[in-house]
Structure 1
Amino acid sequence: MKIFVTRRLPDSVMARARGMGAELHDSDTALNDTDRAALLRDYDAVVCTLGDRFSADMFAGDPRCRLIANFGVGYNHIDADAAQAAGITVTNTPGVLTDATADLAMALMLMALRRAGEGERMVRADAWPGWTPTQMLGQTVTGRTLGIVGMGRIGQAMARRAHHGFGMQILYYNRSAKDLNFPAQRLDTVEDLAAQADVVAIHAPGGADTRHLFGAAAIAAMKPTGVLINTSRGDVVDEGALIEALESGAIYAAGLDVYEAEPAVPARLRALDNAVLLPHLGSATLEVREAMGNMALDNVEAFVAGRQVPNPV
Structure 2
Amino acid sequence: MKAKVYVTREIPESGIDLLRNCCDLEVNLEERPPAKEELKKMVRGKDAILCLVTDRIDKDVIAEGAELKVIGSMSVGFEHIDVAEATRRGIYVTNTPGILTDATADFAWALIMASARRVAEADRYVRDRKWK
Partner of 1:93: 96
Partner of 1:110: 113
CA–CA distance in 2 between the matches of 1:122 and 1:90? 49
After superposition, the C-alpha distances for 1:245-287 in whole angstroms (9 at most, x for unaligned) are: xxxxxxxxxxxxxxxxxxxxxxxxxxxxxxxxxxxxxxxxxxx
Partner of 1:78: 81
| Identity between Structure 1 and Structure 2 (%) | 36
Contact 1:70 1:92 in 2 (8 A): yes
Residues 76 and 125 (structure 1), Cα distance of their counterparts in 2 relative to 1, 3 Å cut:
farther
In the TM superposition, residue 113 of structure 1 has moved relative to its aligned partner by: 4.2
SS in 1 for 2:44: helix
Contact 2:48 2:68 in 1 (8 A): yes
In the TM superposition, residue 97 of structure 1 has moved relative to its aligned partner by: 2.8
After superposition, the C-alpha distances for 1:73-128 in whole angstroms (9 at most, x for unaligned) are: 112221222222232211011233321221112212332344322332332232x3
2:43 pairs, out of 40, 44, 52, with 40
Structure 2 residue identity aligned to 1:14: I
CA–CA distance in 2 between the matches of 1:19 and 1:62? 23
Instruction: Provide the TM-score with structure 2 as the length reference.
Output: 0.80
After superposition, the C-alpha distances for 1:126-168 in whole angstroms (9 at most, x for unaligned) are: 2x356xxxxxxxxxxxxxxxxxxxxxxxxxxxxxxxxxxxxxx
Residues 45 and 120 (structure 1), Cα distance of their counterparts in 2 relative to 1, 3 Å cut:
same
Residues 91 and 39 (structure 1), Cα distance of their counterparts in 2 relative to 1, 3 Å cut:
same
Residues 7 and 116 (structure 1), Cα distance of their counterparts in 2 relative to 1, 3 Å cut:
same
Please, which runs of 5 or more residues in structure 1 have no aligned partner? 131-313
Partner of 1:12: 14
Please give the residue correspondences for 1:164-183 in structure 2 after superposition, counting only pairs within 5 Å. none
In the TM superposition, residue 26 of structure 1 has moved relative to its aligned partner by: 3.2
- Equivalent pairs counted in the alignment come to 129
In the TM superposition, residue 66 of structure 1 has moved relative to its aligned partner by: 1.7
Residues 18 and 123 (structure 1), Cα distance of their counterparts in 2 relative to 1, 3 Å cut:
same
Contact 1:8 1:25 in 2 (8 A): yes
In the TM superposition, residue 62 of structure 1 has moved relative to its aligned partner by: 6.8
Structure 2 residue identity aligned to 1:4: Y
CA–CA distance in 1 between the matches of 2:86 and 2:59? 7
Residues 118 and 54 (structure 1), Cα distance of their counterparts in 2 relative to 1, 3 Å cut:
farther
Contact 1:73 1:93 in 2 (8 A): yes
Partner of 1:63: 66
Alpha-carbon RMSD: 2.3
Please give the residue correspondences for 1:1-313 in structure 2 after superposition, counting only pairs within 5 Å. 1-21=3-23, 22-60=25-63, 63-126=66-129, 128-129=130-131
In the TM superposition, residue 64 of structure 1 has moved relative to its aligned partner by: 2.0
Structure 2 residue identity aligned to 1:74: G
